[in-house]
Amino acid sequence: MATAIKLSDDLVKKAKQQAHIEHRTTPKQIELWAEVGRAALENPDLPIQFVLDSLYALKEAQAGLSEPYELH
């Protein structure tokens, strides 16, 4: 469900710039920032890059883009 919210012009401008660089829409960029921020706040002892990499890995797995790792 989409919900209209008011955001600062500065935040939207920065999100639009980053979204363009990362080939996503401005709303999807803001959603990503919110998701990363929430995960970082829930896991304050983890480095932010680890949080970001973990979220990307989860999204790849959900999209069926990962392969199981087998120990030999």
Q: Is 5 helix (H, G, I), strand (E, B) or coil?
A: coil
Give the domain ranges of the chain.
Answer: 9-62
Residue of 30, 36, 62 lying closest to 49 (CA atoms): 36
CB 12 within 8 A of CB 26: yes
User: Where does residue 9 rank: exposed (0-12), middle (13-18), buried (19+ CB within 10 A)?
Assistant: exposed
* Residue-wise pLDDT tens digits, 25-51: 999 999 999 999 999 999 999 999 999
Calculate the average pLDDT of the chain: 94
User: Whole-prediction pTM value?
Assistant: 0.79
Among the listed residues 11, 9, 54, the one whose alpha carbon sits nearest the alpha carbon of residue 31: 11
